[in-house]
Amino acid sequence: MRKWFQFPIREGNTSHQAHCDMPDGTFEREIGKEGFFGPATHMYHDHAPTGWSAWEGPLRPRAFDTNKLEQPGHTPWDATPLLHNANTKVRIWKSSRSMDHLVRNGDGDECLFIHQGSGHLYCDYGHMSFRDGDYIILPRSTSWRLELDEPVTMLMIEATAGSYMTAERGLVGQHAVFDPAILEYPRIDDAFKAQQAEAGDWRVLLKAREQMNCITFPFNPLDAQGWKGDLTVFKLNWRDIRPLMSHRFHLPPSAHTTFVANGFVICTFVPRPIESDPGALKVPFYHNNDDYDEVIFYHKGNFFSRDNIEAGMVTLHPCGFTHGPHPKAFAAGAKHARTETDEVAVMIDTRLPLEVAELPEGVENIDYVNSWQVKG
């Protein structure tokens, strides 16, 4: 058994409560372990911890505009890779036409976040529709395809050699954040039965051990007549998430955890009231999350802690340095200029460092590291 050394210490001029009532003129910085779940210390500085004047070296905040990516093909396995480590792979897939084949991921569960578009998913378990803002969770080795009503852009997050599970809700209970009854699963309906009659060969493109296999069947493999059990594909839309809130305390990102997998979590930021207590921080606090890399995919809305970030962009803040709101956002929060957020974003926190894939020129904003500098 192991246990953290933990004992309360106060040194110098501090706040009595984290993220509230900071000493005049100071900036709070949280230094934490295990992604906000371990021991933590709050520092109170004279200057913003992100107030660097220059940065040399590869460990830096990075931003990518996925709107500038071209899509080379019409299968999910043509999706453009963005980030990866031993536990996860993050890709962007854009498609303008329905799939004439099935795909199957033998390397791990797949999470699809539908950024744009709508259509229908056909899989081993049946048929269901989807729209923008849906998360679709596909258990490992599920066969599936999409029929599109309109072009689709999606974020694909693979739980490599792992599974997606729900977060422990603790004191707030299992119905907090979203009620499990809101989850929808595929049905063996008329549309599913009708597609079973399509004659001819069907290809299944199986990705396994990072190699591609093509399995051909002389019939449609999606021919289930029924099933029972508690393993299935399901979907959750961000509009059905009811976030935890505190009007007197800015909650850490971990309060917005949606899915948990081996070595990483997925959190969802959705519109909510901004803290109204006069002494409470109104924007995310400066923090050193020194055990996790932090990725955010910006889906829609006004991203209140960032400047010059548009829908479809991705930021990466590797562990090892302080990050937090941009100067304009921090100043607006101090004035309580806004009373609610309208942003929707997907955050991925990974325990192992992420590697950035080779991307076309112009996709990365190489000046992003300088965006915290206060312009004179």
Question: Do residues 341 and 259 share a domain?
Answer: yes
Residue 263 lies in a domain: yes
Residue 70 lies in a domain: no
Question: Do residues 159 and 257 share a domain?
Answer: no
Question: Do residues 303 and 326 share a domain?
Answer: yes
pLDDT at 321: 87
Domain limit, last residue, from 180, 207, 238: 238
CA neighbor of 135 nearest in space, from 209, 204, 237: 237
Backbone angles phi, psi at 86, to 5 degrees: -70, -20
pLDDT at 27: 92
The whole domain housing 362 covers: 27-63+246-372
Backbone angles phi, psi at 41, to 5 degrees: -130, 145
Residue 219 lies in a domain: yes
pTM of the model: 0.94
Torsion angle (degrees, nearest 10) of CA 301, 305, 311, 316: -150
| Number of structural domains in the chain | 2
Provide the CATH number for the domain around residue 342: 2.60.120.10
Question: Do residues 87 and 216 share a domain?
Answer: yes
Distances (CA, A) of 357 to 59, 85, 89, 100: 15, 11, 10, 28
Could you tell me where the beta strands, DSSP code E, fall in 126-188?
Answer: 126-130, 134-138, 143-160
Question: Do residues 251 and 364 share a domain?
Answer: yes
pLDDT at 375: 64
DSSP structural state of residue 364 = B
Question: Do residues 278 and 344 share a domain?
Answer: yes
Residue 9 lies in a domain: no
Domain limit, last residue, from 215, 238, 261: 238
Residue 137 lies in a domain: yes
Q: What angle do CA 128, 164, 230 make, to 5 degrees?
A: 60
Residue 285, token pair as written in the block? 């606090």
Question: Do residues 226 and 279 share a domain?
Answer: no
Tell me whether strands 202-208 and 102-105 are parallel, antiparallel or unpaired.
Answer: parallel
DSSP structural state of residue 72 = -
Question: Do residues 86 and 222 share a domain?
Answer: yes
Residue 96 lies in a domain: yes
Residue 56 lies in a domain: yes
Question: Do residues 230 and 255 share a domain?
Answer: no
Question: Do residues 102 and 121 share a domain?
Answer: yes
pLDDT at 305: 64
CA neighbor of 94 nearest in space, from 120, 114, 109, 110: 114
List b or e across 120-156, with b for residues whose CB sees 16 or more CB atoms inside 10 angstroms.
Answer: bbbbbbbbbebebbbbbbbbbebbbbbbbeeebbbbb
Domain limit, last residue, from 238, 268, 292: 238
Going residue by residue through the chain (376 aa), what tens digit of pLDDT does each one get? 888 888 888 999 999 898 999 999 999 999 888 878 788 899 999 999 999 999 999 999 999 999 999 877 789 999 999 999 999 999 999 999 999 999 999 999 999 999 999 999 999 999 999 999 999 999 999 999 999 999 999 999 999 999 999 998 888 999 999 999 999 999 999 999 999 998 899 999 999 998 999 999 999 999 999 999 999 999 999 999 999 998 998 888 888 999 999 999 999 999 999 889 888 888 888 888 788 999 999 999 987 667 678 999 999 999 988 888 887 777 777 777 788 889 999 999 999 999 999 999 999 999 999 988 876 5
Question: Do residues 271 and 210 share a domain?
Answer: no
Residue 7 lies in a domain: no
Question: Do residues 118 and 47 share a domain?
Answer: no
